[in-house]
Amino acid sequence: MIAEDLYSLGRLSSTDAEQLSAQQASELHPWAPLLWGSNCRSRADRLRKLGWSPKHDNLEAYLMEMVKFEVDGTGATNVKASFDKA
């Protein structure tokens, strides 16, 4: 979905996503397998005890907004990572 959003913004020439093995990812960044290959779920239990409740629960509805923020907020002219060797 992120690739599709970046494509629609003209930041990618295709929506195809490239898959990397853990070894290939490690060559790009030493922590890549840990950072990109892990999954984390969190809950706002303490906030709920204080009376907070979420207003939205659909990430897909806000994904484009987040992609735009990241692209526009960094001033990036492309989507290459800062540690890209190229």
Overall domain count for the chain: 1
pLDDT value, residue 74: 64
For residue 49, tell me if it sits in a domain.
yes
State the pLDDT confidence band at 62, using cuts at 50, 70 and 90: confident
For residue 80, tell me if it sits in a domain.
no
For residue 67, tell me if it sits in a domain.
yes
State the pLDDT confidence band at 72, using cuts at 50, 70 and 90: confident
State the pLDDT confidence band at 5, using cuts at 50, 70 and 90: very high
How confident is the model over 75-79, as a mean pLDDT?
53
For residue 55, tell me if it sits in a domain.
yes
DSSP 11: S
pLDDT value, residue 82: 46
User: What are the tokens at 32?
Assistant: 């890549």
69 vs 76: CA distance, rounded Å: 11
For residue 29, tell me if it sits in a domain.
yes
For residue 60, tell me if it sits in a domain.
yes
Q: What is the pLDDT of residues 9-53, one digit of tens each?
A: 988 889 988 888 889 988 988 888 888 877 777 888 999 999 998
For residue 26, tell me if it sits in a domain.
yes
For residue 84, tell me if it sits in a domain.
no
The parent domain of residue 16 ranges over 2-74
